[in-house]
Amino acid sequence: MKKITLLLLLFLVMVLSSCMEDAKITVQNNVQNAKLERISWDNYSVASSLMTGESRGITVSDYKSDFPKTSVVKFLMTRGGNQVYLETKSTFTLDINDNLLIVISDTTEVINPALQGR
């Protein structure tokens, strides 16, 4: 009986893991003389901190039915001693097996949600 239970458990693990799909998202900081912190996309933390020229990425694993995923990039930017929370105006879509590179530069359009209602 234990052998059958173990085999069923192994089969279930194999079936569930085969339903998961992967995609990679990378954020690169090309903002001159600025540090980006607490960088996130959707509900995923991509990097805790990026200096100018640095990039970091993560692998997003989820069920096939949960792709594609679309979101803005959210981050804190520190420049010249001032820090501000920003979100990209553009959304970025990640689909199964994608290798998405998002470059944040001096020309990236961003908003500060705290100032939107003013």
The domain spanning residue 26 has which CATH number?
A: 2.60.270
Q: Is residue 97 part of a domain?
A: yes
Q: Is residue 5 part of a domain?
A: no
Radius of gyration of the chain (CA): 19
In sequence order, what are the residues at sequence separation of 6 or more whose Cβ sits closer than 8 angstroms to the Cβ of residue 115? none
Res 58 pLDDT > 90:
yes
Prediction pTM value: 0.80
The values of phi and psi at residue 98, to 5°, are -70, 155
Q: Is residue 71 part of a domain?
A: yes
**Other CB atoms within 10 Å distance of the CB of residue 80:** 7
- The pLDDT of residue 57 is 95
Mean pLDDT of 61-74: 93
Secondary structure class of 101 (helix, strand, coil)? strand
Note the pLDDT tens digit of each residue in 9-54. 776 666 655 578 999 999 999 999 999 999 999 999 999 999 999 9
Q: Is residue 8 part of a domain?
A: no
Say how many domains are in the chain.
1
